[in-house]
Amino acid sequence: MAIEVRIPTILRTYTDGAKAVDGTGATLSALIDDLESRHAGIKDRLVEPKGEAIELRRFVNVYINDEDVRFIGGLEASLADGDQVVVLPAVAGGAR
């Protein structure tokens, strides 16, 4: 068993076009590192530095089993085999 990660169109350049890839990790942070080991470059599109640490990019949404991870621990949100992860860039903009 693994964790299925749904990849948005704009990030499929890192997955050879695949709409979904499998990964492993006990937390979202660990999962992202695992993805990075096979899909180099993807991590930088998901997280950004915040001081010494990293955080999820403001305009990237990640969901674990349909829950926005911002409400369940962010990068420290826990994961288990069989979980479904969806990555979706925000649809946002404006005249400002």
Partner 1 sequence: MLTIDQATVDAIIAHAKRDHPDEACGIVAGPEGSDRPERLIEMVNAAGSPTFYEFDSTELLALYKQMWANDEEPVVVYHSHTATEAYPSVTDIGLASEPGAHYVLVSTRDWAEAGGGNNQAPVEFRSYRIIDGEVTEEEVVVVPRLASV
Taking the CA of residue 68 as centre, how many other CA atoms within 13 Å lie in the half-sphere pointing to its CB? 10
Rule CB under 8 A: choose which of 17, 49, 51, 93 binds partner 1: 93
Task: Write the binding mask 4 to 43 for partner 1: x where contact by CB under 8 A, - elsewhere.
Answer: ----xxx---------------------------------
Among candidate residues 72, 78, 18, the one with its CA nearest the CA of residue 42: 18
Smallest separation, CB 10 to partner 1 (Å): 5
Q: Is 66 in the site for partner 1 (CB under 8 A)?
A: yes
Residue 52: Cβ-neighbour burial (10 angstroms; 0-12, 13-18, 19+): exposed
d(CA 76, CA 69) in angstroms, rounded, equals 9
Residues in touch with partner 1 (CB under 8 A): 8-10, 59, 61, 63, 66, 68, 70, 86, 88-96
